[in-house]
Amino acid sequence: MATDDHMILRHENARYRDIVGHLVFRRRLTKSPFAEHKPGAVAGLDSANTDWVTALTLVIQKVLAAISSPLRRLGRLLEFLLNFFSINGGFLGVVRRCLTFHDVCAVSLVIPQRESPDFLSLIAHIDGRYELNRTFFIGDIPALEPIPGVDINPLSLCMMASKLSYENAAVIVNQVEKRWKMHFVRFFDCWNRYLKNRATQAFIFCDKAEDANVIVLAFRGTETFNALDWITDVDLSWLSIGEFGKAHLGFMRALGLQDEKDFNKGFPVDHPGHHHGRALAYYAIRETLKDLLAKHRRARVVVTGHSLGGALAVLFPAILAIHEQHNILSSIHGVMTYGQPRVGDAEFCRNLDAVLKSKYHRMVYRYDIVPRVPFDKPPIALFKHFGTCIYFKSWYEGQVRRGGIAEPQLLPSPVPVVHVLVRFGGLDEGVLLGFLMKDFEESYVSLIYRASGLLIPGLASHSPRDYVNGGSMARIIN
Distance CA 122, CA 445 (A): 9
Cβ atoms of 266 and 258 within 8 Å: the answer is yes
Residues, the chain = 478
Cβ atoms of 309 and 219 within 8 Å: the answer is yes
> Which amino acid appears at position 203 of this protein?
F
Catalytic: which of 6, 11, 462, 466? 462
> What DSSP element (H or E) covers 214?
strand 214-219
Distance CA 115, CA 121 (A): 11
Helix, strand or coil, per DSSP, at residue 135: coil
> What DSSP element (H or E) covers 23?
helix 16-24
Query: What angle separates helix 227-234 from helix 68-87, to the nearest 10 degrees?
Result: 120
Q: Clarify whether 274 is annotated catalytic.
A: no
Q: Clarify whether 462 is annotated catalytic.
A: yes
389-424 burial, b for 16+ CB within 10 Å, e for fewer? bbbbeebbebbebeebeebbebeeeeeeeeebebbb
Paired strand residues for 398: 392, 476
Tally of CA atoms within 13 A in the half-sphere of 205 that contains its CB? 27
- 368, 374, 376, 379: CA torsion to nearest 10: 170
Q: Clarify whether 368 is annotated catalytic.
A: yes
Cβ atoms of 451 and 427 within 8 Å: the answer is yes
Distance CA 4, CA 6 (A): 6
Catalytic: which of 5, 233, 368, 466? 368
Distance CA 164, CA 33 (A): 41
First-last CA distance in the chain: 40
**261: Cβ–Cβ under 8 A, 6 or more apart, which residues?**
4, 6, 8, 38, 239
**Residue 367 Cα distances to 93, 166, 370, angstroms:** 38, 22, 9
Catalytic: which of 121, 156, 162, 307? 307
- 32, 36, 42, 45: CA torsion to nearest 10: 0
Active site residues: 307, 368, 462
